[in-house]
Structure 1
Amino acid sequence: MLRFPITPHPNHFIFPHVLKSCYESHSTGLVHAQITKSGFEQYPIVQTAIVDSYSRVLGGLRCTRKVFDERSEKNVVSFTTMVSGYARVGDVDNALSFQKHD
């Protein structure tokens, strides 16, 4: 979409789908950088998709927590995403501590 001027540019509806296709920290980071450059990082749906994407990649929980902590607005969906990320890697203590905040 970025290479061809004829097609519409990505928006806050497209980026969550692109992030779902990321299976490594590097590709998630590249998409995250494009989101920031495009100005869509403040959209709650995009923020949650970034948190989810980092939580699904190997070694991504440090980035996941950083992105979560930087969110301007935290809601049930973002807390659930963090709990799922911790549960996915077997970090039950952190998953339970986030669940208490919910």
Structure 2
Amino acid sequence: MTDHAHKVGDAMETTNTIGLIPPAYREPLRALARISIKRNLDIIPISTIDFVFEGYRFSHAKTRAVIAELHALGMIEFVPNTGIRLRVVEEQP
């Protein structure tokens, strides 16, 4: 498992990071983090994102809107032509 995957998983469970995410997006994002850790991925492919969100009954357009919102919140970063990287958001004092 990569250090990045560990940091993402730890941050989601031990900080207020998950509280910053709108409730409807929490489970799909947790699923992405689990996949990132299980498959040892720093970058999550677009096809995997679509597959995960479809499982939570998100349409393609809704998935794109969620990803855009998570990017605006600083939760993810885009990797051009590849996918996304989950970011570790530090707790604010």
Using the size of structure 2 for normalisation, the TM-score is 0.31
The structure with the largest strand share of the pair is: 2
Q: Tell which structure's C-alpha radius of gyration is larger.
A: 1
Q: Answer 1 or 2: which has greater helix percent.
A: 1
